[in-house]
Amino acid sequence: MKYLVIGKNGQLGKEFIQSLSLEGKDFTAVGHEELDISNLKNVMEVCEMLKPSVIINTSAYNQVDLAEKHFELAYKTNSLGVYNLLLACEKYKTFLVHYSTDCVFDGKKANGLYNEEDEANPLSEYGKSKYLGEIFIKESNINALLLRVSWVFGKGKQNFIYKFL
């Protein structure tokens, strides 16, 4: 099984690289320099060359506050980029692992924790851009694992522990 990790320079991507390396898995990790997921031609070329069995998409425009002003960048990566990956996954019969966010919810649930059955209602441009990517996944014919997380953990500064400290 061959893995393609997208977002090698990010906190989550680095954790996947470390884990896959320790497990001796066959993988290639790429950053934005090697693969711009908003560019369909680029996505198809990389997938044609590597023919991964699994794509782990850790890339994202995750500047939540800046997404309100620069929403086109958020949608370019978080929505269009996901759509392009889906087209490649469909063509090459590739399994997609994709990370989304709890920002697809409005925070108004009265009782209990959110689950996958709860209706999304994103309030921010960031949440809307991530939710559109989710919609594309749900409406596709590919096999995928969609994870909604509030924070990622690992070495770096984009995590709850670092922000708390």
For 69-92, how does the pLDDT look when each residue is reduced to its tens digit (9 = 90+)?
999 999 999 999 999 999 999 999
Active site (annotated) includes residue 126: yes
**Could you tell me the pTM of the whole model?**
0.89
Q: What is the DSSP string of 16-71?
A: HHHHHHHTT-EEEEE-TTT--TT-HHHHHHHHHHH--SEEEE------TTGGGTSH
Provide the percentage of residues in the chain whose pLDDT is more than 90: 72
Task: Select which of 75, 99, 126, 131 is catalytic.
Answer: 126
Domain 2-164 is classified in which CATH homologous superfamily? NAD(P)-binding Rossmann-like Domain (3.40.50.720)
* pLDDT tens-digit map of 16-46: 999 999 999 999 999 999 999 999 999 999 9
Instruction: Check the CA dihedral 10-163-154-84 and report its sign.
Output: negative
Quickly state the pLDDT bin for 105 (edges 50, 70, 90): confident
Q: Comparing 103 with 39, which gets the higher pLDDT?
A: 39
